[in-house]
Structure 1
Amino acid sequence: MSNARPPRLPRRALHGVLLLDKPIGWTSNDALQKTKGLLRAEKGGHTGTLDPLATGLLPLCFGAATKFSQASLDADKRYTATLHLGRTTSTGDLEGEVVEERPVDCDRAAIDAVLARFTGEIDQLPPMHSALKHQGRALYEYARQGVEVEREPRRVTIRSLAVLDWNSPTLVLDVECSKGTYVRTLAEDIGRALGCGAHLSALRRTASGALSLQGAVTIAELEAMAPEARAALLHPVDCLVADWPAVRLDEEDAGRFLSGQRRRIQHADAAAVRVYGPDPRAFLGSAHVTRGELIADRLLSPPEVASQLGAPVPLTSATPAEAEA
């Protein structure tokens, strides 16, 4: 019997963003590791956790794109939220035990009036069943032990709330909100304001900043593709910052910018800009502008810049365990 180890499969220094339509029941990390294995990518990360019960847009960053994942984390989000009115649960969603059931006695006018109260800046009390940390432990760990931890309300912004469907006891909402918004808590608060209670029965993220489900791919679709077809789905690194002002540098200034040197430019002060070389495909990194100086924040390496211009993708070896991830 041969003791030879199976050959190591190649992995690649891929750079870009994959728009994944996460399936229900998967953690965000499970989805990342599965996709990373299918792409044979060296380095990857996601841009904000989706609960296992939630589906929808999960932007996955590979290679150089991981340097700019914070931009997606900080971006506004959009969800389709399905509320079950008249029933509250211990977790605020389908996973919890039913705590109370009450009759639903509200019409569309009452719903619209309540939604108006929750539009704009509001304070939310983070749920106990969340990953928010207290003394180094996630709140859900305390909740599983039956321990209630005192929490401080957090200010979030609900950009808009629109009714997509109302068929009692089911209320479907389109929610545009700032980062850090707990849609589960929003559902509970709306139910409380309506006088009947509610829990979140389904959640689907439809957008994160400028990124949307348009062009997103499922894990099943990825599995059915050839390896190179999967890699072709990657969006450019700069899609994460596409709504920032752009700065173009000539070849000499681009080289100096990539070495971390400040450059004098004709540009208004800006907290964040995206910087390119003479070739519009050559995204160099992010910076800010202060008193006419372009100051680098996050830079791509020369090989990462070259990869955007069609340079060959180097292969390295993955262990069997990594290759199967």
Structure 2
Amino acid sequence: MQGFLNLNKPAGFTSHDCVARVRRLLKLKRVGHAGTLDPAATGVLPIALGRATRLLQFLPQDKAYRATIRFGICTTTDDLEGDLLLAHPAPDLTLDQVAACLPQFQGVIQQVPPNYSAVQVQGERLYNLARKGKAVVAQARTVEIFSLTVLDWRSGDFPEIDLAIACGPGTYIRAIARDLGQALQTGGTLAALLRTLSSGFDLADSLTLEELETQIQAGTFQPIPADAPLSHLPAVALLDSNARRWCQGQKLRLDQTSLRVRAAEERNLYDYPSWQVHHENGHFLGIGQLIESEIGTLLVPQVVFDGAGFDDAG
């Protein structure tokens, strides 16, 4: 079995827990995931099955969330799972005040990861250092927030705001909650997080673990095709003889391929770091890269996903 599973991760499970559960349900050894979610978070967790684990590095990186931020609260982990550091009611905080601060968190910004995170400092994870009582602050990193949209506002002693957040890789939503609270001088922490989009997979198409188990028992589960989340990559089609050679690790001249590039993007071919490679009949063969050589532009194998059976694949 190979392909992808769009899993709707439940609260209380680590991403590793989900991989282990899927491995047991499908009786499959090679299972991996993209885009780790904290245990308290829910939503889209892309799971790779079989040889598709080799494709995780090529998935699109953009993500989207629905986040609830609670003001007047600070914790050690920047979410409700941590120890309480501050609880100071903020009943006078208004939506207008919060909305006025949001623009400073959009676009390309500098963000310091939470102390309890998987970021490494001097070869050790921050969460391990924090558990040892070592006060180490990670270096600020450049991240990109594409949009922050207010969904709901609830006033009170500890007011809450619901935000729709679209962002690039490496963004910590907990850090947004912490920094927004600091900007408003009330303190803030992440109260709930639902990931609605990750690596090309949408929440609307996801399966819960219970739904997955039901489909497996009924014999109806079908993994998502391995090339389905790769539509952001341009594509190359190979004739049968060239497909065989490429799958054997040989480099092909560009004039031996048929390029399919989205017409709306007029970019240099070398601006694309990776290309989908298909047999002319549509069978997905793997991922390739274009390089310059003395004999011209070559298509070089990066990942040969499936080099067998393309004679009769439709």
Q: Say yes or no: does 1:295 pair with 2:279.
A: no
| Match in the other structure for 2:6 | 19
Shift of 1:91: 1.4
Shift of 1:308: 10
Q: Distance in 1 between matches of 2:312 and 2:164?
A: 36
AA of the residue aligned to 1:295: V
Q: 63, 85, 94: which one pairs with 1:77?
A: 63
| Match in the other structure for 1:11 | none
Q: Say yes or no: does 1:43 pair with 2:30.
A: yes
Matches within 5 A, 1:1-325: 14-72=1-59, 75-102=61-88, 103-168=90-155, 169-227=159-217, 229=219, 231-232=221-222, 234-265=223-254, 267=259, 268-269=269-270, 270-280=272-282, 282-291=283-292, 292-303=297-308, 309=313
Do the aligned partners of 1:123 and 1:155 also contact (CA within 8 Å) in 2? yes
SS across alignment from 2:205:
coil
Do the aligned partners of 2:34 and 2:199 also contact (CA within 8 Å) in 1? no
Do the aligned partners of 2:31 and 2:48 also contact (CA within 8 Å) in 1? yes
AA of the residue aligned to 2:239: D
AA of the residue aligned to 2:167: C
Aligned length: 293
Cα distance change, pair 142–284 in 1 and its aligned pair in 2 (3 A): same
AA of the residue aligned to 2:100: A
Cα distance change, pair 135–308 in 1 and its aligned pair in 2 (3 A): farther
Do the aligned partners of 2:46 and 2:199 also contact (CA within 8 Å) in 1? no
Q: Which moved more, 1:262-271 or 1:152-161?
A: 262-271
Higher relative contact order (CA 8 A, sep 6+): 1
Calculate the aligned-residue CA RMSD, in Å: 2.1
Alignment deviations for residues 195-240 of structure 1 (CA, whole Å, 9 cap, x no partner): 21110011111111321112211011122334463532x1011123
AA of the residue aligned to 1:194: L
| Match in the other structure for 1:7 | none
Do the aligned partners of 1:105 and 1:196 also contact (CA within 8 Å) in 2? no
Do the aligned partners of 1:68 and 1:240 also contact (CA within 8 Å) in 2? no
SS across alignment from 1:175:
strand
Q: Which moved more, 1:56-65 or 1:282-291?
A: 282-291
Do the aligned partners of 1:18 and 1:60 also contact (CA within 8 Å) in 2? yes
Do the aligned partners of 2:115 and 2:137 also contact (CA within 8 Å) in 1? no
AA of the residue aligned to 1:202: A
Q: Distance in 1 between matches of 2:64 and 2:25?
A: 28
Structure 2 regions of 5+ residues with no counterpart?
260-268
Alignment deviations for residues 254-294 of structure 1 (CA, whole Å, 9 cap, x no partner): 111111212122553332210100221x1111112235321
Do the aligned partners of 2:284 and 2:306 also contact (CA within 8 Å) in 1? no
Cα distance change, pair 134–64 in 1 and its aligned pair in 2 (3 A): same
SS across alignment from 2:219:
helix
SS across alignment from 1:35:
helix
TM-score, length-normalised on structure 1? 0.84
Shift of 1:92: 0.7
Alignment deviations for residues 31-86 of structure 1 (CA, whole Å, 9 cap, x no partner): 111112111223111112111101110111011211111123x6111111110112
Identical-pair percentage: 37
Q: Distance in 1 between matches of 2:153 and 2:132?
A: 36
Q: Which moved more, 1:267-276 or 1:101-110?
A: 101-110
SS across alignment from 2:273:
strand
Q: Which moved more, 1:128-137 or 1:62-71?
A: 128-137
Q: Distance in 1 between matches of 2:310 and 2:29?
A: 17
Do the aligned partners of 1:84 and 1:171 also contact (CA within 8 Å) in 2? yes
Q: Which moved more, 1:207-216 or 1:78-87?
A: 207-216
Do the aligned partners of 2:240 and 2:311 also contact (CA within 8 Å) in 1? no
Q: Distance in 2 between matches of 1:125 and 1:157?
A: 13
TM-score, length-normalised on structure 2? 0.87
